[in-house]
């Protein structure tokens, strides 16, 4: 039995991708017979299953640590404070603080391997792994400096940008192995930091077949979006397409689940376009309820920017849509654009409202096309892109290190 430790600074049960991925991989590793221990300073301890335990903060530490990590998460999104946190000394301090907060529990778990989620937790895993004499794996979901620059928290090529890239380089070089979510991310990291790509392993995100799929409808009319409401998601593009959609489908409706910095401005945008009667913002939906939400739709929209941050990403919503039998409308210029076309699970449009609307209308006018793509989507997740298969890939990576 492989004994795995996972260090994360994100809540175990949060609905967003940074919590969904480690939670799903941990639960599926446990089902494969691994003994899995999740170390989270922002959770209370809880036993999830016979082989899976979350080690959280104790009552004495709880008040201080909960406030500390809540402050840090907010600070990373604040233009006034974030630039100081993206400096290498600050990132190293946060990593050491996280390592110290979990070490007392990690050292008693007799682990074979440690994995860190994202950059700071990966460095924490490296620090603890060295103390325990066990290998550390970095699970990298995105680009630290590039994401901050895209969000305008720091400027590209600024001191903070370069230092956060130096921190990323250190994480990549000191890890026993690096797990990434896409081939594009692997290529970018190995080329940008001049690192041997033999130490990189691809474990994409995936979906969960839940037995809840889109029912066949003679008159499809609903679009759905489930994800964060941030600039790089381009939800505004989907909303901008609605006037053209309702010219063909007067009863069309667009359901949006999620929260983010753009929520208020997107609501105002829908009002300005006079489509607020067709657009509903339903707030955040817990991930265990997402399949029920998606079953209300006929088409899942996946707009996005096409910059480097998005081109290396692996959106969990893509696989949630597929698992729910939703054909997808997305934009051209991303790796999943080809994926959608190759597997016949949706349509690819240009990144303008007219093209995006035309793709939606094409599907809404073709119930049989929707049903065929829906069948392809569910089959793809059931046979290949599910979390059980991804856990097997991850376990293979562990076995190579042990």
Domains of the chain listed by start with CATH number: 3-206+386-401 (3.40.50.2000), 222-383 (3.40.50.2000)
Report the C-alpha gap between 13 and 33 in whole angstroms.
Answer: 22
- Judge whether residue 197 has pLDDT over 80: no
The average pLDDT across 268-290 equals 92
Secondary structure (3-state) at 87: coil
Report the range of poorest mean pLDDT among 123-127, 262-266, 289-293: 289-293
Q: What's the pTM value of the predicted model, to 2 decimals?
A: 0.92
| Helices 159-174 and 118-132, packing angle to 10 deg | 40
Specify the DSSP element, H or E, that contains 347: strand 346-349
- Judge whether residue 138 has pLDDT over 90: yes
- Judge whether residue 325 has pLDDT over 60: yes
In the sheet that holds 222-226, the strands lie side by side as 279-283, 253-257, 222-226, 299-302, 328-331, 346-349
Secondary structure (3-state) at 131: helix
Specify which residues 116 forms β-bridges with.
Answer: 7, 138
Backbone angles phi, psi at 211, to 5 degrees: 75, 10
The average pLDDT across 135-157 equals 91
Secondary structure (3-state) at 189: helix
| Helices 88-106 and 59-75, packing angle to 10 deg | 150
- Judge whether residue 61 has pLDDT over 70: no
């Amino acid at each position: 039995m492989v004994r795995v430790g996972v260090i994360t600074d994100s809540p175990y049960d949060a609905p967003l991708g940074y919590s969904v991925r480690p939670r799903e991989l941990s639960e599926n590793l446990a089902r494969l017979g691994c003994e899995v221990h999740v170390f989270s300073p922002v959770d209370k301890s809880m036993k999830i299953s016979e082989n899976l335990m979350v080690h959280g903060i104790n009552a004495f530490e709880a008040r201080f640590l909960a406030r500390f990590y809540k402050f840090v998460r907010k600070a990373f999104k604040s233009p006034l404070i974030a630039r100081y946190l993206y400096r290498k000394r600050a990132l190293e301090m946060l990593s050491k603080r996280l390592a110290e907060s979990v070490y007392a529990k990690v050292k008693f778990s007799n682990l074979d391997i440690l994995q860190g989620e994202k950059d700071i937790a990966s460095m924490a895993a490296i620090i603890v792994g060295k103390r325990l004499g066990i290998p550390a794996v970095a699970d990298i979901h995105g680009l630290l400096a590039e994401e901050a620059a895209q969000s305008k928290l720091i400027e590209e090529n600024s001191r903070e940008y370069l230092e956060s890239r130096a921190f990323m380089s250190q994480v990549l070089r000191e890890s026993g192995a690096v797990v990434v979510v896409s081939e594009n991310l692997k290529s970018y990291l190995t080329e940008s930091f001049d690192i041997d790509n033999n130490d990189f392993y691809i474990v994409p995100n995936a979906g969960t077949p839940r037995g809840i799929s889109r029912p066949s409808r003679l008159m499809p009319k609903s679009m759905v979006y489930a994800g964060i409401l941030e600039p790089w998601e381009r939800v505004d593009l989907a909303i901008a397409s609605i006037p053209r959609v309702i010219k063909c489908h007067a009863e069309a409706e667009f359901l949006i689940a999620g929260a983010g910095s753009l929520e208020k401005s997107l609501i105002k945008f829908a009002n300005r376009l006079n489509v607020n009667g067709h657009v509903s913002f339903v707030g955040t939906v817990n991930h265990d309820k997402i399949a029920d939400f998606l079953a209300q739709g006929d088409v899942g929209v996946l707009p996005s920017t096409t910059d480097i941050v998005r081109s290396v990403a692996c959106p969990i919503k893509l696989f949630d849509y597929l698992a729910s039998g939703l054909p997808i409308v997305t934009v051209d210029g991303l790796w999943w654009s080809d994926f959608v076309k190759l597997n016949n699970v949706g349509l690819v449009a240009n990144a303008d409202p007219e093209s995006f609307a035309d793709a939606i209308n094409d599907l809404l006018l073709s119930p049989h096309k929707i049903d065929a793509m829906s069948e392809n989507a569910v089959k793809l997740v059931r046979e290949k892109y599910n979390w059980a298969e991804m856990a097997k890939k991850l376990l293979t990576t562990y076995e190579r290190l042990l």
